[in-house]
Amino acid sequence: MEKISIYKIKQKTLKAVIGIGVVFIFLGLTLLIRAIYVGFNTNFFGGNWNSVNFIAQGIIFTLLGLHGLKYRNYFIEWDENQIRYLIKGEKKIRIIEISKIVSIEIKLNKIICQLNEHKEKIELEFEAVEYSVLKRIKDKFEELKTNL
């Protein structure tokens, strides 16, 4: 069974981004509480707006890290009998039986599989995928196409 992770995002990088975000939020909240206790200076230049900026940056970093964790789960894998995949836009793992595939059409960033039951058409779209990963996926489908 061969498995390809569609988006190659390192978990250490994502954890670092989330960690930096949490530190920024903590620092921003600390500065905000201190500024409120002393008296918040509302002047834009020379005021206490750094705390708000740190909180906003922390929220953005944390959301970017969590978004990256979501994309890390997408994959496509296959064996002799079936293709299993989870790509962007799918809620659960889908399975395609290779024996039910009638035709395969390979486009630039899309692979269209025509299945024999109910004339079902499955479109696999690969947006913002590294060239090497996309090439491996296309090569595998090209091999399946020649074996039909």
Spell out the per-residue pLDDT of the chain, length 148, in tens.
788 888 777 888 899 999 999 999 999 999 999 988 988 887 877 778 888 999 999 999 999 999 888 888 888 998 888 899 888 878 899 888 888 888 888 998 899 888 887 678 888 888 888 888 889 999 988 988 888 7
Q: Is 136 helix (H, G, I), strand (E, B) or coil?
A: helix
Query: Rounded to an integer, what distance in angstroms lies between the CA atom of residue 148 and that of residue 138?
Result: 15
Work out the burial of residue 2: count CB atoms within 10 Å of its CB; fewer than 13 is exposed, 13-18 middle, 19 or more buried: exposed
**80-147: CATH topology:** PH-domain like (2.30.29)
Query: Rounded to an integer, what distance in angstroms lies between the CA atom of residue 115 and that of residue 120?
Result: 5
Are the C-beta atoms of residues 40 and 48 closer than 8 Å to each other? yes
Q: Is the whole-model pTM more than 0.85? A: no
